[in-house]
Amino acid sequence: MSVNGVTGAANTYEAYPVNQNVSTKAAEEDSKKSNSSESKNDQGVVYEASKEAGTSKTQKTYTQNTNLVNQLKADAEAHAQQLQNIVSQLMSKQGQTYNTANGIWSFLASGDFTVDAATKAQAQKDIADDGYWGVEQTSDRIIDFATALTGGDPDKIEEMREAFKKGYKMAEDTWGGELPDISKRTYDAVMQKFDQLAEDAGLTTSN
Closest alpha carbon to 9 in 178, 160, 132: 160
pLDDT for the residue numbered 116: 80
pLDDT for the residue numbered 37: 46
Q: What is the mean pLDDT of residues 186-202?
A: 95
Secondary structure element (H or E) that encloses residue 34, with its range: helix 26-42
pLDDT for the residue numbered 55: 44
pLDDT for the residue numbered 185: 95
| Amino acid letter, residue 128 | A
Worst-scoring range by mean pLDDT, 17-31, 68-82, 97-111?
Answer: 17-31
How are the residues of the chain apportioned to helix, strand and coil, as percentages rounded to the nearest 5? 65, 0, 35
The chain-wide mean pLDDT, for the chain, equals 74
pTM over 0.85: no
Q: Side-chain half-sphere of 23: how many Cα atoms within 13 Å?
A: 6
Q: Side-chain half-sphere of 159: how many Cα atoms within 13 Å?
A: 13
Worst-scoring range by mean pLDDT, 18-22, 109-113, 120-124, 129-133?
Answer: 18-22
pLDDT for the residue numbered 2: 42
CA dihedral 134, 135, 140, 142 (to 10 degrees): 90
- Beta partners for residue 63, in sequence order: 21
CA 7, 15, 4 angle in degrees (round to 5)? 5
Q: Domain ranges in the chain?
A: 23-61, 64-200
**Rounded to whole angstroms, how far apart are CA atoms 188 and 186?**
5
